[in-house]
Amino acid sequence: MTELIENLDTVQETDVTLNVNGQTWQGSIPVEETLLDCLRRRVALTGTKRGCESEVCGACTVLVDGVPISSCSYLAFEADGKQVLTVEGLATGEELHPLQAAFARNGAAQCGYCTPGQLMAAYALLQAHADPTYEQMGHFLDGNVCRCGCYPSIATAIREAAAALRTTR
């Protein structure tokens, strides 16, 4: 039975070149490795969180070529040659991104575990809608669960960040 697939006992590794937050990362990874594990263990960026591992909670949200995905269920080899943006890529040096600043100012986090995912989903939202309605916020963020229940503050923070970004553009 194992003859059909060559070398079943060996791991199928594949060479990938990722652009993570503007920096190139090259390496060989097993095909079954998720982008979440690759980012946390190999690229050593632990801002992206492991949550439900079922594409429901949004804690592991990162952007691949500008599109939000669940990195827990996205095979890392699929990101080969693509731009990956994680929460570590939002700030410019010591200067927080307007979304991060607005989240901090509004207390849009209590335990903070979901916050990296909330920020990445909000970032994708603002790329699509510079002045988002609450309905548009829901469309992008209803898959980002906050068990502390910070949703009103998150919504306020996003509105403030959107306004700040519109004036600087």
Alpha-carbon distance of 83 to 25, in angstroms, equals 11
Q: Which of 16, 43, 45, 69 binds another protein (CB under 8 A)?
A: 69
Asked if 11 interacts with another protein (CB under 8 A), we say yes
The site that binds another protein (CB under 8 A) totals a number of residues, namely: 34
Contact flags string 109-148 toward another protein, x per CB under 8 A: ------------x--x--------------xxxxxx----
Q: Is 74 helix (H, G, I), strand (E, B) or coil?
A: coil
Binders of another protein among 142-161, rule CB under 8 A?
A: 142-144
Query: Token digits for 31?
Result: 């095909």
Asked if 82 interacts with another protein (CB under 8 A), we say no
Alpha-carbon distance of 161 to 56, in angstroms, equals 25
Nearest residue to 32 via CA among 6, 7, 10: 10
Q: Label residue 150 exposed, middle or buried (CB < 10 Å: 0-12, 13-18, 19+).
A: buried
Q: Is 61 helix (H, G, I), strand (E, B) or coil?
A: strand
Q: Which of 34, 48, 100, 118 binds another protein (CB under 8 A)?
A: 34
Judged by CB, which is closer to another protein: 61, or 92? 61
Give contact residues for another protein (rule: CB under 8 A): 1, 4-5, 8, 11-12, 30-34, 37, 53-56, 58, 61, 67-70, 73-75, 77, 121, 124, 139-144
